[in-house]
Homo-oligomer: A and B are copies of this chain.
Amino acid sequence: MTSSHIAKKQDLPPTAWAVLGLLSFPGERTGYELKKWADSSLRFFYWSPAISQIYAELRRLEELGYASSARSGPEELRTKRRYAITAAGREALAAWAADTAEAGPPVLKHGLLLRIWLGHLSEPERLRTLVVEHLEHTRGHTRGELAAVREAMAHAAGVPEWAFPALALRWAERRHLAELELAEALLEDLAEAARRERARPEGAERQAGGDAPTPG
A interface residues, Cβ below 8 angstroms from B: 14, 17-18, 21, 24-27, 29, 33, 37, 40-42, 44-47, 90, 93-94, 97-98, 100, 102-122, 126, 129-130, 133-134, 137-138, 142, 148-150, 152-156, 159-165, 167-172, 174-175, 178-179, 181-182, 185-186, 189-190, 193, 197, 200, 204-206, 208-216
Contacts and interface: CB of A to CB of B under 8 A. Distances in A.
Oligomeric state, in copies: 2
Contacts of A120: 24-25, 160-161, 163-164
B189 A170 contact: yes
Given A26-B208, A209-B26, A216-B149, A45 B103 contact: no
Contact of A103 (B111, B160, B189): B111
Contacts of A115: 97, 103
Contacts of A156: 212-213, 215
A33 B115 CA distance: 21
Which 10 residue pairs are nearest across A and B when measured between Cβ atoms? A103-B111, A119-B164, A149-B216, A45-B113, A26-B208, A178-B178, A106-B110, A117-B168, A152-B215, A94-B121
B113 A171 contact: yes
B118 A167 contact: no
Nearest to A185: B174
9 contacts: A27-B214, A94-B121, A97-B122, A103-B134, A105-B137, A106-B110, A107-B110, A117-B168, A153-B215
Contact of A14 (B109, B118, B181): B109
Contacts of A24: 118, 120-121
A4 B14 CA distance: 39
A46 B112 CA distance: 9
A142 B106 CA distance: 11
